[in-house]
Amino acid sequence: MEKVRNSDFLKILSYILIPILVEIIIFSLCHIIYLSELNVPKKETKYSQTENFANEYIVFLSNKIVQCQNIEQYENFIKLEDEHGNPYYYTNMKNDINYIIIDKETKEMYTNIRSSNYQQIIDNIKNQKIYWNNVNNIIETNIEYLNQDNIKYNHYYSNKQFKEQETKQLQNYDIYSFVDEEQTEISITNIYDFMLQNRELPIYVITISTILLGVIAIYLLWAIGHKEGKNVTLGVIDKIPFELICIICFSIIYISLEILYSYMNFDRYIIISLIVSNISYLLGYSACAIFTVTMIKRIKANKFFESFLIYKFISWIYKKLQRFINEIKNKTPLTKKIFWLYWGFVAINLIFANSISIFSIAIPLLIIFWTWVYYKIRTYIRNQEEIKDNLKQIYEGKTNVYVDDTQLRGIYKEMAIYINDISNGFTNSIEESLKAERLKTELITNVSHDIKTPLTSIINYIDILKNEDIQNEKVKEYIEIIDEKSQKLKKLTEDVIEASKASSGNIKLNIEKINLKELLNQTIGEFKDKFEERNLKIETTIPESEIKINADSRYMYRIIENIFSNITKYAQENSRVYIDVKDKKGKIEISIKNISKDKLNISSDELMQRFVRGDKSRYTDGSGLGLSIAKSLTELQKGTFDIIIDGDLFKVIIVI
């Protein structure tokens, strides 16, 4: 069932079937209505056999006689000559009834038939299935209701107005007319014939179509808005305010009905009439479908009332009113003050306005009052701007912010006191933080120095033992291990001291212009053996010209050394190391990148923290301080040090 509900094919098929079924029902109802109006006996199956056809036939011919009598008033008649040179009047206004009317006195002919031999047409008229002739006041026809005996009972033929014209018609004109049933153009005669021959058809058609429409309507009510795996979802149209949808859809429906009404009796070009009518019908149906579908979706999604602009407006008013009531209930001093000030202002203005006509002094008093109100508002705004500026300074990191609260009143004075307290709290907090950082740095430095002194003694004694002639191989092995570990400990101690000094800025820099290209080449040369040991190929892209930077050569070398040391430990063997140097608008960018041998499941920020290593197993040598020291030394020289990690790619960017 869920597949049926979510089927787009069934929904589209339903949308296509609805207008077809509705049109079938409309035509079937018209079928029933026309049959009831015709009041034709069931035995008759041809429209030409009905009294209604006879009435229309005689009225048509009567109108043509009137036109012939007033031919100069009708521009659609043009004067021509036949093959014998006789003049006649021809109109191209086509109709199911073809006629030839001849004035007995003038011999002028009026017709809507185009032919080169009218006498032949007149001679062959009696061979037509439907014809009516009135020649020399003698009627010849196969239309039962208009023959010589029955025409006197015809309502239109026997009325007074027609009787007054009848003598002239019979005396002055010969009439030849017929209906060509073989013509291909759709006519009202063909439609009526179909209705007469299928009297019971509308009942069955309406019943079946209504049942189908009911089934489709129930299905669409159940399925509209549902898609596979989703609840009712609203589209772009469903988010348009419902009032706007109503205006657009009902306007389209109104225009469609107007077009349908205009073309309903447009018999001259019945094909065009049918095409235009169907287009307008489909246009109106589309508007109805959009209106109905979006309404159902909104109702299902519980968004129907919320989609009204008036609902949103009322909700907005309600929220504002509720907020105002809550503010009044809370009775905050500022709310009460604003409330009384505003309504006091309104009341005083009304009092002065009503007094102007009585006391002329009310005008200057009103001006003074307005000036006083402007002064108070300007004072409040100035206080607000001052408070805002001080808050902005605190937001930007300034701690020595102080607001002079002696010139402030009310709520602004309270806010100034709060700001001053916050500023003092920030200052104290920062001072405490700096003090703690300083103490921590001093502690690390002192402890490192305390470790370094006995460590130096240990290393010296190890050197003495190494120079002794010791025969025991085990003892020699132990001495080598102690020597190796003590050297690592010494390096760690030196790194800790250097990291501490670098982070605290307790380093004396000797900034001078140095040749970066020369420094890089020198460092690469010193690490050549280590690179070759891991089969790392260095690819450099360095400008040929000299590159001068303002830096401390000793510490700049330490930065490059730490990065290269990191590469020799963690780079993938048999890979490349890329070193690029670029001049970017007065700043030099050094980019060093390589492929890591292990997956880097760590962020760049974590990697630059102290004692953090890319090798979490700590299998490789290192203290985890190299990159942290390099970053601190770069920043001390007014540069930036960034690490970018992308999968296995490790990239360092230094800008000096």
- DSSP assigned state of 199: S
pLDDT (tens digit per residue) in 17-28: 888 888 888 888
Phi, psi of 265 (to 5 degrees): -110, 25
Contact 39, 216 (CB under 8 A): no
pLDDT at position 131 over 80 = yes
- Sheet containing strand 109-111, edge to edge, reads 77-81, 87-91, 109-111, 97-103, 173-179, 130-135, 138-141
Computed on alpha carbons and rounded to an integer, the radius of gyration of the chain in Å comes to 53
Residue by residue, what is the 3-state secondary structure of 269-338? CHHHHHHHHHHHHHHHHHHHHHHHHHHHHHHHCCCCHHHCHHHHHHHHHHHHHHHHHHHHHHCCHHHHHH
Neighbouring residues of 332: CB distance < 8 A, sequence distance ≥ 6: none
pLDDT (tens digit per residue) in 617-634: 444 455 567 788 888 888
The owner of tokens 């000797």 is 510
Token pair belonging to 467? 């120079």
Q: In degrees, to the nearest 5, what angle opens at C-alpha 211 toward C-alphas 207 and 215? A: 170
CATH superfamily of 508-655: Histidine kinase-like ATPase, C-terminal domain (3.30.565.10)
Query: How does the average pLDDT of the chain come out, rounded?
Result: 78
50 or 605, greater pLDDT:
50
Contact 616, 656 (CB under 8 A): no
pLDDT (tens digit per residue) in 332-349: 565 666 666 777 777 877
pLDDT reported for residue 580: 92
CA neighbor of 590 nearest in space, from 560, 616, 570, 569 = 560
pLDDT reported for residue 448: 63
Compute the distance between CA of residue 518 and CA of residue 280 in angstroms, rounded to an integer: 84
Q: What's the whole-number mean pLDDT along residues 583-604?
A: 81
pLDDT reported for residue 474: 83
Residue 521 vs residues 433, 517, 518, 560, 579: alpha-carbon distances, Å: 42, 6, 5, 11, 11
The owner of tokens 């004109």 is 173
496 or 415, greater pLDDT:
415
Instruction: Classify 423 as helix, strand or coil.
Output: helix
Q: How confident is the model at residue 164 (pLDDT cuts 50, 70, 90)?
A: low
Would you put residue 168 in left (φ > 0), alpha (ψ -120 to 50) or beta?
A: alpha
Neighbour tally for 144: CB within 10 Å: 14
DSSP letter string, 482-496? HHHHHHHHHHHHHHH
Percent over 70 (pLDDT), the chain: 76
Compute the distance between CA of residue 245 and CA of residue 293 in angstroms, rounded to an integer: 11
Compute the distance between CA of residue 300 and CA of residue 2 in angstroms, rounded to an integer: 17
Phi, psi of 221 (to 5 degrees): -60, -35
Q: How confident is the model at residue 610 (pLDDT cuts 50, 70, 90)?
A: very low
pLDDT reported for residue 634: 85
Neighbouring residues of 433: CB distance < 8 A, sequence distance ≥ 6: none
Contact 577, 571 (CB under 8 A): yes
CA neighbor of 128 nearest in space, from 178, 94, 186 = 178
pLDDT (tens digit per residue) in 535-552: 999 998 888 888 888 888
pLDDT at position 553 over 90 = no
Compute the distance between CA of residue 60 and CA of residue 73 in angstroms, rounded to an integer: 18
Of the listed ranges 54-58, 118-122, 435-439, 542-546, the one predicted with least confidence: 435-439
pLDDT reported for residue 440: 64
pLDDT (tens digit per residue) in 348-357: 777 766 666 5
Token pair belonging to 641? 């040090």
Alpha helix ranges (H) inside 103-200: 118-124, 155-158, 160-172, 188-197
- DSSP assigned state of 381: H
Q: What's the whole-number mean pLDDT along residues 29-36?
A: 80
pLDDT at position 587 over 80 = yes
460 or 653, greater pLDDT:
653
pLDDT reported for residue 646: 82
499 or 246, greater pLDDT:
246
pLDDT reported for residue 619: 44
Token pair belonging to 274? 């049918």
Compute the distance between CA of residue 349 and CA of residue 115 in angstroms, rounded to an integer: 93
115 or 188, greater pLDDT:
115
Percent over 90 (pLDDT), the chain: 3
pLDDT reported for residue 578: 93
Residue by residue, what is the 3-state secondary structure of 545-575? CCCEEEECHHHHHHHHHHHHHHHHHHECCCC
- Find the length of the chain: 656
359 or 250, greater pLDDT:
250
Q: What's the whole-number mean pLDDT along residues 306-312?
A: 85
pLDDT reported for residue 627: 81
Compute the distance between CA of residue 18 and CA of residue 23 in angstroms, rounded to an integer: 9
82 or 473, greater pLDDT:
473
Beta strands 548-551; 512-515: pairing state = antiparallel
Residue 274 vs residues 122, 277, 656: alpha-carbon distances, Å: 34, 5, 81
pLDDT reported for residue 51: 79
Q: Which residues pair with 649 in a beta bridge?
A: 595, 646
114 or 35, greater pLDDT:
114
State which of 252-261, 385-394, 448-457 shows the largest mean pLDDT. 252-261
Of the listed ranges 184-193, 511-520, 524-533, the one predicted with least confidence: 184-193
Contact 347, 366 (CB under 8 A): no
Would you put residue 581 in left (φ > 0), alpha (ψ -120 to 50) or beta?
A: beta
Chain-centre distance of CA 250, in angstroms? 25
Phi, psi of 613 (to 5 degrees): -125, 150
pLDDT (tens digit per residue) in 395-414: 676 767 777 767 677 777 77
Residue type (1 letter), 568: T
CA dihedral (385, 387, 390, 392) positive or negative: negative
